[in-house]
Amino acid sequence: MSEPIKVVPMHIRLDYIVTAGRTYTRYLQALAHKRIIGGRCPRCEKVYVPPRGSCPTCGVPTGETIDVQHTATVTTFCVVNIPFGAMPFKPPYVVASLLLDGADLPILHLVRGMPADQVRMGLRVRAVWVPDEALAPTVESIRWFEPNGEPDADYKTYEAHL
């Protein structure tokens, strides 16, 4: 008997269609116009980006849509050092949890514009958008976030969002 086969190398492709729904569609359409929108809960007043149809905390509809800022605070981050097939950049690069100004829940996005080993919690960053002709209803309309020159945020301003 030979050894059992444990790995079969092959290329796999998965094609799928995602139906965004009304709330997420408005969010994606706003990104195509260099706007970042969130939904505010009428009860707890938290602002969720991307907006949801209802507040995950209170369970009530989030009818109010508001614009949030293009600036953010790095709350946590990961330096990617291991290459893989669909990586956006050659390692090392940073994927960070970013608390947008005006939002109550961080989003994940890339941080560029400085060496990966200098990214830190509290770093203030701003969105870098694709050229106007490349804007589309996708989160890829924001290329990445980069330092905006502001002093680091005080830990107390984002500690509840880790």
Handedness of CA 35, 27, 137, 82 (dihedral sign): positive
Is the CB of residue 94 less than 8 Å from the CB of residue 109?
A: no
pLDDT at 14: 87
What does the block give as tokens for 30? 């706003």
pLDDT at 125: 98
Q: pTM of this prediction?
A: 0.87
DSSP 131: P
When pLDDT is cut at 50, 70 and 90, the band that residue 63 belongs to is confident
Residue with tokens 């950049």: 89
The whole-chain average pLDDT of the chain stands at 94
Mean pLDDT of 81-92: 86
C-alpha angle with apex 81: 144 to 103, nearest 5 degrees? 35
10 Å Cβ neighbour count for 98?
26
